Structure 1
């Protein structure tokens, strides 16, 4: 009979969860008791509810996932958890965790992921807690977890439990007279069944297989992240695509040495393959499966802001919304306002929220939100409480099947109807933190000085007049500058540029936005503070 051992420990500084949990380098997590402290603090934050509860556990397959799953099993057993639902081999996409939490009405789930950050022994790891609604823990819970990490002196563990996670099945243990159950689940089954309820799979299959003419050739890239098994089950087994239509579908601990972030820089292999091949549609997903990039024939790129707006204007193509109806739309603050125009046209509520998916969840739970998205390649609906990359790709394929247009054709029709929000994002990754914080303080001071609202800023033949803070100009153009909370080291500076054109909708975004970019770089003095001549990534 496995026993319970109480281990004395010492608190670590800096275990404060960010917008998506605690993310640090692997070498930080493997310090003595570092991971154990954080897991114990998650359980303690749930207080008496943890005893007799059921939790979901899974991750994106990166380095250290299996070892941490083992620790979660042992610590959960010692703390009175009744049952764990664990993905086979520790594999569960982040949206699949949300799906399973909601389907089986569990207390919550522990997700092992650093999302789009690189994996491997020299790179990143992460742990976050999702609540009973399936979404990321709210600020009150993460603040409580952090408070507990600062004062922890002991954790409980059942070190003698041996629970293999490679085979599907149920394992039961008697822990000092209490029954403890671990169910190793098919990582894919529940999620795929849910997608079959949401979408018209036969219609998408007919599109891909070309039942009415030429096959619609897709190329789906899992970037050696968690979505590989899901992509193979959905696109090959269910939708009839061939193995040649999917790539990098085996989850690897280091993502094959690649950066699993689905953007034009880190998914360049997909972009080149679609650009030079006979493909009508391409999609890529990040390490844990919640982000997506959509491209069309010739690698025509769909910005996340445009993707959200297009989905909003075509939700009637998806059976889920035909039944449930559409209640409202939302976007994160830095995301371009393209979806706002769709909401106004259709008469739906539109919300702007701070960065972080948890804020969308509140609106969903209140019954006021059906579709939402972030410019950082996150799109989702109220079917779960996480952004969902595969859902977004299937939603796009539903629209393509219903309209018989190309990806580019859909965008051109959309811009002709609603105008176009030209948008770009500049990422300056792993900059020195202190100068970046100084830059933000200096810009805040400048923006709040008398006379800033109404001031004029020019570049080339364009002049912008400040209407409001954040920085909003009279013509609706915006400059947003923020420090990201998703990295594991240093500071990532993100600069967002957004400008609306009602008629001139077919231009090159970087050309159209250059005057506003120049103004932003001058206003922020970004080059001096970061020491960078150019961004790491341009979206």
Structure 2
């Protein structure tokens, strides 16, 4: 029986502008009549002529509203001329795995249902983002087109009678107005695991985890925080690498992430941190809701700062056979510490500094300018896909440990002894009043971008003097296509290389999140407490910003 396409009249909604990684709002916003459909139609229309008979992949992190949203998207794909939709069973698909599928099958793109590290549930957040044919987040020109279309949309197209079963793996064929339309429900883990087995020596990693002969096993503890990585963790670390089922936690994806905040940091993954401190584990890891972010811990809760994680992995990529002699360059987001720069200088490998947002790494990877990249916001990845990849980062770390036959702590100590240490911290002030934050940054901009600010001296409590060398609002010129990203965050850089960065985050669903990043380089004092080492510089940043006065916050929501 042929299904008919229906045109539904609609009107634009304000504010459907994709942020750093898609559109994120409270679930109740997406549940408004026509709201989700409007945004999805904007995506599909902006694909253009290539949409005819193309294949798209759809899936998400399993949070509340994923399944109904996926079913709506499939019906709209059918109406808009898409030939086939690949969807994860029960609408489950990690963000890295969707990138794998897009690249493996040369798809036009994919629609990802996630609000990443934001909370989930009926009263929490939901999100939709579009990844393009390279497997990465849509670049600025595409998201701008989507937003412009959303501002004038007057109708969307859907096949309301299309009944799709996304709970069973298999192929379903439909007749849509005399045209064939296919939905293939797949195991979302299979293609991702196949790629990981190509990149990493699973036999060596299995020997590391299980141990052999006189050598005891390397004990891991991995927490999926009830997000999408659970099935991937179970398949890779338990089924293939031989870890005990007791060494993985929260591996069943839940619509509300078990009532917790699926953000892998010291605050929201406190249960893992405490278990590592109290147990005899060698490596701990946690992932966010959609599986692209990671937090790494060593024995007794040794915290691996994401900036340092990127630098040390970059310095040890030869420990992974598939990357040996294939490193073309490194990249980091602007707020990420300069620890990577020191590795690049030593190895004579170029380091690119980009704005926050993984999409800015995509062009560099496609042009084969970089091999590994990362962000201080717990994002690490390589050119194997065009997304950050939490599980990849853990496998990379296990490969480094296996090669060095050493603990994480010892690996870092040797790295700092060689390069010195870029002490780094980030203060997050979440859900602040947006208007007051804008006023705060306007005043801050007028202060720090004035000519009189250069040369200004600040005294620390330890007697150290900080002299302002540079103050700007970071602009980025893409070395591949020449596109410009302006006003990406304020940088205050001192003569000794210390600095702080201030920017508003684009990943929240409401209010404003102010992020303050503080960094100081030390060549010899490498084993001190970062918060102690950076305390004076943090206070200088907060006082110059007048953050406490504008936000009313005495303490940050999260300290990294």
Q: Give the structure-1-normalised TM-score.
A: 0.99
Partner of 1:347: 348
Partner of 1:266: 268
Partner of 2:238: 236
CA contact (8 A) 1:83 1:181 kept: yes
Quote how far apart the aligned CAs of 1:322 are: 2.1
Partner of 1:494: 515
User: Per-residue CA shift, 1:279-328, capped at 9, x if unaligned?
Assistant: 000000000000000000000000000000010010001122026x0000
Partner of 1:306: 308
Quote how far apart the aligned CAs of 1:521 are: 1.2
Partner of 2:291: 289
Between Structure 1 and Structure 2, how many residues are aligned? 538
Inter-partner Cα distance in structure 1 for 2:67 and 2:212: 43
Inter-partner Cα distance in structure 1 for 2:364 and 2:209: 35
Partner of 1:85: 86
Instruction: Output aligned runs, 1:303-382, within 5 Å.
Output: 303-322=305-324, 325-382=326-383
Partner of 2:251: 249
Inter-partner Cα distance in structure 2 for 1:250 and 1:402: 32
CA contact (8 A) 1:459 1:518 kept: no
- Flag structure 2 segments of 5+ consecutive residues without an equivalent: 472-490
Partner of 1:415: 416
Instruction: Output aligned runs, 1:38-53, within 5 Å.
Output: 38-53=39-54
Partner of 1:511: 532
Inter-partner Cα distance in structure 2 for 1:85 and 1:133: 17
Provide the secondary structure at the position in 2 that maps to 1:451.
helix
Partner of 1:530: 551
User: Per-residue CA shift, 1:222-265, capped at 9, x if unaligned?
Assistant: 00000000000000000000110100000000000000000000
Quote how far apart the aligned CAs of 1:451 are: 1.6
User: Per-residue CA shift, 1:460-483, capped at 9, x if unaligned?
Assistant: 122200000110000000110100
Provide the secondary structure at the position in 1 that maps to 2:519.
strand
Partner of 2:469: 467
Inter-partner Cα distance in structure 1 for 2:206 and 2:518: 38
Provide the secondary structure at the position in 1 that maps to 2:353.
strand
Provide the secondary structure at the position in 2 that maps to 1:129.
strand
Inter-partner Cα distance in structure 2 for 1:251 and 1:387: 20
CA contact (8 A) 1:462 1:515 kept: no
Partner of 2:479: none
Q: Which runs of 4+ in 1 moved over 4 A?
A: none
Inter-partner Cα distance in structure 1 for 2:173 and 2:41: 22
- Flag structure 1 segments of 5+ consecutive residues without an equivalent: none
Provide the secondary structure at the position in 1 that maps to 2:401.
helix
Partner of 2:503: 482
Provide the secondary structure at the position in 1 that maps to 2:453.
coil
Inter-partner Cα distance in structure 2 for 1:49 and 1:209: 49
CA contact (8 A) 1:275 1:297 kept: yes
Q: Give the structure-2-normalised TM-score.
A: 0.96
Provide the secondary structure at the position in 2 that maps to 1:173.
strand
